[in-house]
């Protein structure tokens, strides 16, 4: 097993200041109102830069945990996930959780990682590579995906979740610890992450949609299909034919992937996420304007796809 690097740590004062800035941004509905430097938006949450001593770090706030028992379960899953990734040959970026109690068992939780240069992201690095070099990097991604993905360990292999640090691959997206037990049940408390959905959708998604959404991340072929579809979003679709040939040369990814399958998959995925973001923006407007409540998530603007 690879040794996990120690993550950066915010002091208590730095953590409180960060949380206060996030709360000001949520209250205003605008991250610029709190002077936050956004490093990027995921489909659900955002990553901001903050100072830890003399260093700038990357911090992602998770949905607020309402109960200590749920937080303990999540922390255990998070720690095990890092270890299982490393054991499977995928080195995560140094990552740690920091907890700010809110009273009555509730807590705000932040994942803290080193701040990486923007051009360290594999999605950006590929734009400057000739096809042979791009294929060599894709081979490394395929090795990592096939090495770690299994019925009990999942992976979101999209290009923006990988970085090159001193030439070595590092995995970024560790805040959704995809671990399953022997019966196929999710080990992480999935309700915490459904909290970002409008209330009326949570039961529907949990009952009918969550399992098929997550299934692909536990199947190497599904992870690669998602990665290939992501080439469209990253404006790297010119690499798709060569990447398909490379992926289809691997017996573990059978049956063969086709460009038509990748295109259909991406179109459906983009449509679903666009709908979700529209629903979340409507929910934010309802919460803020009608119920006069603070909406607890910073939402991205229009995402180019």
Alpha helices in the chain (DSSP H): 12-28, 68-87, 122-125, 131-148, 190-194, 199-204, 210-215, 220-233, 240-248, 259-285
Is residue 132 classed exposed, middle or buried when 0-12, 13-18 and 19+ CB atoms within 10 A define those classes? exposed
pLDDT higher than threshold 80 for residue 32: no
Percentage of the chain exceeding pLDDT 70: 94
Residue 67 belongs to a domain: no
Residue 85 belongs to a domain: no
pLDDT tens for each residue of 132-185: 999 999 999 999 999 999 999 999 999 999 999 999 999 999 999 999 998 999
pLDDT tens for each residue of 229-278: 999 999 999 999 999 999 999 999 999 999 999 999 999 988 988 888 88
Determine the structural domain holding residue 151 and report its residue range. 118-203+210-273
Smallest CA-to-CA distance from 96 within 114, 84, 108 is with: 114
Q: How many domains does the chain divide into?
A: 1
Residue 123 belongs to a domain: yes
What is the side-by-side strand order in the sheet with 46-52? Answer: 37-41, 46-52, 55-61, 106-114, 96-103
78-82, 113-117, 177-181, 289-293: least confident range: 289-293
Residue 33 belongs to a domain: no
Averaged pLDDT score across all residues of the chain: 91
Smallest CA-to-CA distance from 175 within 278, 46, 279 is with: 46
b/e code 274-296 from CB counts within 10 Å (16+ = b): eebbeebeebbeebeeeeeeebe
Residue 226 belongs to a domain: yes
């Amino acid at each position: 097993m690879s040794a996990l690097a120690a993550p950066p740590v915010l002091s208590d004062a730095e953590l409180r200041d960060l949380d206060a800035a996030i709360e000001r941004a949520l209250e205003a509905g605008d991250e610029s109102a709190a002077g936050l430097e956004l490093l990027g938006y995921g489909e659900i949450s955002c990553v901001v830069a903050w100072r830890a001593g003399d260093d700038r770090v990357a911090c992602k706030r998770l949905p607020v945990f309402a109960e200590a028992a749920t937080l303990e379960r999540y922390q255990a899953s998070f720690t095990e996930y890092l270890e299982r990734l490393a054991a499977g040959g995928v080195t995560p970026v140094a990552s740690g959780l920091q907890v700010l109690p809110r009273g009555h068992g509730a807590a705000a939780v932040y994942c803290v990682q080193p701040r990486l240069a923007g051009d360290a992201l594999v999605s950006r690095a590929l734009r400057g590579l000739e096809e042979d070099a791009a294929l060599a990097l894709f081979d490394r991604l395929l090795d990592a995906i096939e090495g770690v993905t299994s019925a009990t360990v999942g992976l979101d292999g999209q290009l923006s979740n990988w970085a090159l640090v001193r030439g070595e691959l590092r995995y970024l997206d560790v805040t959704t610890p995809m671990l399953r037990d022997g019966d196929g049940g999710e080990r992480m408390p999935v309700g915490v992450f459904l909290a970002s959905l409008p209330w009326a959708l949570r039961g529907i998604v949990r009952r009918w949609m969550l399992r098929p959404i997550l299934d692909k991340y536990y199947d190497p072929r599904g992870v690669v299909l998602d990665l290939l579809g992501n080439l469209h979003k990253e404006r790297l679709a010119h690499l798709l034919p060569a990447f398909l040939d490379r992926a289809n040369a691997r017996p573990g990814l059978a049956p063969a992937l086709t460009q038509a399958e990748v295109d259909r998959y991406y179109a459906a995925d983009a449509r679903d996420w666009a709908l979700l973001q529209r629903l979340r923006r409507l929910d934010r407007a309802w919460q803020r304007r009608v119920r006069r409540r603070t909406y607890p998530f910073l939402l991205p603007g229009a995402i180019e796809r």
